[in-house]
Amino acid sequence: MTSSTAQDTAAEELLLSYGDRSTVSIATGEPRPISRVPSVASVITADEIAAMGATDLDEVLETVPGLHVNRSANDYSPLYVIRGVVSQFTPQVLVLQNGLPITTLFVGNKGNLWGGYPVEHIARIEVIRGPGSALYGSDAFSGVINIITKAATDTPGTEVGGRYGSFATQDLWVQHGGHDGAVDVAAYLRLGRADGFTSNIAKAAAGTSGPVNMGNDPVDGNLDLGYRKWRLRLGYKLRDSLETGAGIAQALDPVGRQKSERLTGDLSWIDPHISSDWGLGFTAGYLQYAQLIPVDYQLFPPGTNFGFGSTANGFLGGPETRERQLRLSTFATYAGLAGHNLRLGLGHDDLNLYWTHETRNFTYAANGALIPTPGGVLVDFTETNPFLRPHRRMIDYVYAQDEWNFAPDWMLTAGLRHDRYSDFGGTTNPRLAVVWDAAVNVTAKLLYGRAFRAPAFVEAYGLGNPVALGNPNLRPETNRTLEAAVSWQARLDTQFNLSLFHYAMQNAIRTVPNATVGSGSTYANTGGQNGRGGELEVLWSVSRTVRVSGNVALQRSIDEVTGQDAGYAPHQHVYLRVDWLVANNWQAGGQINRVAERKRASGDLRGPIPDYTTVDLTLKRSQINAHWDVTASVRNLFNASVLQPSLAPGTAIPGDLPMAPRSLYLQAVYRL
């Protein structure tokens, strides 16, 4: 092989580490060039995920401009913070799997018993920063994340992989893609085990300092079948023996064990050219989710006394839920009008939290204090004093969207969606976007959108706990966002993407003092939040073998009630990555992630949350004996102290939530 040919091969291999980032479907419902879609969007491909040495979805999302991964003390569940929007469970980001919501009904996010998400079976991740309710309805508030799993074409052949690393992490998976006659088949199965890191946390509520509890036993499976215009996808996600992080009540819990089980399925038929001008498609989606507590939570340790006595085993409780969701949708596209591309759709969602169950060894005083049951025995309160009763929500919706090429180099996208909820009525949300190809290498956008978030079931119907009672009269949160964006291909090897935004949240769902129930509180629509900022992304191919990418995100968000910083989100977030083709079949990569200027919310008198900078390194050797790929990674190389904010106002957890110290992973994949 000549030197020139070797260099060309190396350049092609480096390009593969980024994959096809040029198109995105999440913004309009159909594949479009990312520079021209009517949204601010990002794409991360499977090859890019592998190149960065990521082992979990959260590590990938942290690289997206304007997106930061906070943590909840409750289970250490990840909170996806886009453009400064943070709340207790942060349900303001819609997470999709293959275009369908994986939202759970109880708290309105992807589920607190999340336990991580593997990346080996992900084909690509598409992210919208900004509103998406005109297409996706509720929760597409500050952003939308769509996880697209691998089909047969994404994983040809069979591979077996394994990973071993810090914190007793062990993963084993098998993945296959191929054909059985006319049927395309992709399958994935992963078994895991992890003790999790054991960083010490400051004294928690009514407790003592000690290590967080992070272990779990995961199982993941997917089956993807394609036949002509039909596609069937089935998924399974089990998190067993899941520990409670910093504790459900922000008191360390070495006893409680949780289990979440998620079954997903979708059947779709799509013909984009059923006639010369028309396209047609429909999807039926199903989700079954269970949140189970095999060993009751130790909400507060033995000896805790709120003025009504203590118990020998501490205060124990075990709230459990089961839900099923059925989503039916259909759409039609029409291109028979010159310069127009119309998309019309309608759908029906049947969301049923059909079972709740709770045992505990306490009752509540009017102010929310815990009163032990006689002898501290566990009592089944499912019928007499439950945290929540079963509820069912029906949603019917219709939407229309037009992409109008009204002049050379100009595209206007206008969309409108109306959702009708069985419990609180209707909401209508528009979008408007102008995209201008200002030059061959420059595209500019001006975007406006309105989004909403429907109340979660615990917010609308929560019972039993006077600390946070539900309110069936809640209305949706709303968000209006104005954005401007420019994409500039400065040279063949250099690209800049700049976006600026301003948003205004209204009718925020928060807890307020409840005058009728002691000193407790209830959920209410109160106040709002205004934010502004920008994101700059740079992609630079330095040479045939070196590529640099990075982004800077700045934001300021103000609570309109207090006039103070909304809190807990970074004002500055900087990410830098370098990929280097060292030699044929050898690739090295490194990334730097800096999170800075995180303020406390009004009323939280603690000092600013410490800044941090982490460095990760990855070395990959591929095609060993034509079959093996081996990857070694170190995360947080310099063992930086990483803290994510505890949202309590300095009383439950005086400090913040420690994250993992330096960790090492070795991964091997064998392709048959």
pLDDT of residue 13: 42
Q: What are phi and psi of 34, to 5 degrees?
A: -65, -30
Q: What is residue 11's predicted lDDT score, i.e. its pLDDT?
A: 38
Query: Domain spanning 3-143+171-671: which CATH class is it, in words?
Result: mainly beta
Read off the pLDDT of each residue in 539-558 and give the average, rounded to a whole number.
Answer: 96
Phi-psi region at 29: left, alpha or beta (left = phi > 0; alpha = psi -120 to 50): left
Tens digits of residue pLDDT in 231-256: 999 999 999 999 999 999 889 999 99
Per-residue pLDDT at 9 exceeds 70: no
Higher pLDDT, 607 or 183: 183
pLDDT value at position 7? 36
- Helix, coil or strand: residue 357: strand
pLDDT tens digits along 258-273: 999 999 999 999 999 9
What string of DSSP letters covers 395-438? EEEEEEEEEEEEETTEEEEEEEEEEEETTTEEEEEEEEEEEEEE
**What's the sign of the alpha-carbon dihedral 66, 67, 72, 76?**
negative
For residue 1 the two structure tokens come to 């092989």
List C-alpha distances in Å: 132 to 85, 102, 332, 486, 489. 15, 16, 19, 20, 26
pLDDT of 27 reads 80
Confidence of residue 205 (pLDDT cuts 50, 70, 90): confident
pLDDT the model gives residue 516: 59
Over residues 493-547, the pLDDT tens digits come to 999 999 999 999 999 999 998 765 556 789 999 999 999 999 999 999 999 999 9
For 574-619, how does the pLDDT look when each residue is reduced to its tens digit (9 = 90+)? 999 999 999 889 999 999 999 999 999 988 888 889 999 999 999 9
Mean model confidence pLDDT for the chain: 93
Between residues 204 and 426, the one the model is more confident about: 426
Reduce the DSSP state of residue 459 to 3 states and report it. Answer: helix
- The percent of residues in the chain predicted with pLDDT above 90, rounded, is 86
Q: What is the pLDDT of residue 519?
A: 62
Q: How far apart are CA 97 and CA 95, in angstroms?
A: 7
Q: Find out whether 569 and 557 touch, Cβ atoms under 8 Å.
A: yes
Q: For residues 534 and 554, what is the distance between their CA atoms, to the nearest angstrom?
A: 5
**So what's the pLDDT on residue 120?**
96
| 115-151 pLDDT, tens digit each | 999 999 999 999 999 999 999 999 999 999 999 999 9
The predicted structure's pLDDT at residue 543: 94
What would the mean pLDDT of 461-471 be, rounded to a whole number? 88
User: In this structure, what are the phi and psi dihedrals at residue 10, rounded to the nearest 5 degrees?
Assistant: -60, -40
In this prediction, residue 21 carries a pLDDT of 65
What's the pLDDT score for residue 35? 85
The tokens of 305 are what? 């006394």
Res 639 pLDDT > 80: yes
pTM reported for the whole predicted model: 0.95
For residue 242, the model assigns a pLDDT of 97
Q: How far apart are CA 84 and CA 558, in angstroms?
A: 9
Percent of the chain with pLDDT over 70: 96
336 dihedral zone (left: phi>0; alpha: psi -120 to 50; beta): alpha
